Chain A
Amino acid sequence: EVQVVESGGSLVQPGGSLRLSCAASGFTFSSYAMSWVRPAPGKGLEWVSAISGSGGSTYYADSVKGRFTISRDNSKNTLYLQMNSLRAEDTAVYYCAKMGGYRGPDYFDYWGQGTLVTVSS
């Protein structure tokens, strides 16, 4: 059974940093691209970042480029999102999602339950 489980969300001050993790199981982790997605108030869902199966290619939404860094450790079946210079508008539930292929863009076939990031003083 495919599972992805996020962790690391918490309350952080504006300008602060946070690292999210996503532990994956039930599939060959290195064979699939992975992504982070968050809700966007009034706009549905917002894709945040993606990484290819090998980790050699990374992709970012303009809203987080230069502030967030996606990475993966295929030996640990774990995806990460390093979030720096956090802003109030980054407050959201962050979903980890498995993508349908080796590299993006692609659809998301399995999602975690999400981890809540709150940016507030």
Chain B
Amino acid sequence: EIVLTQSPGTLSLSPGDRATLSCRTSQSVSSSYLAWYQQKPGQAPRLLIYGASSRATDIPDRFSGSGSGTDFTLTISRLEPEDFAVYYCQQYGRSPITFGQGTRLENK
């Protein structure tokens, strides 16, 4: 199975800062079949990005995804207070579907 490694484990930033989250896969992900999710405590995950760089419905344009092959990045250009949460990447290029372990974005 494809293993996804997210870094850093925890990112401490302030509102207005730029956040850069990394997801590295153990094998190349075909056709950039990579997604990003946001999860807040007590809530279900929410799809942010699919196809490595396509924003999901109603996702603000401060969220952007990039990358290909084995290295992918989620960038939040200017953090809002509601952006502090846990972020997961997921690959769906090969079965089984796998997720990264998550990056916790905390308010400094």
Contact = CB atoms under 8 A, between A and B. Distances in A.
A12 B53 CA distance: 42
Interface on chain B toward A: helix, strand, loop, or mixed SS? loop
A107 B47 contact: yes
**B: contact size bracket:** 20 to 34
Contacts of A110: 47
Given A43-B101, A47-B97, A112 B44 contact: yes
B45 A105 contact: no
A44 B102 CA distance: 6
A35 B36 CA distance: 17
A73 interface: no
A46 B43 CA distance: 16
Interface string A15-52: 00000000000000000000100000011111100100
B44 A114 contact: yes
Interface of B: 6, 33, 35, 37, 43-47, 50, 56-57, 88, 90, 92-102
Interface of A: 35, 42-47, 50, 59, 61-62, 95, 100, 104-114
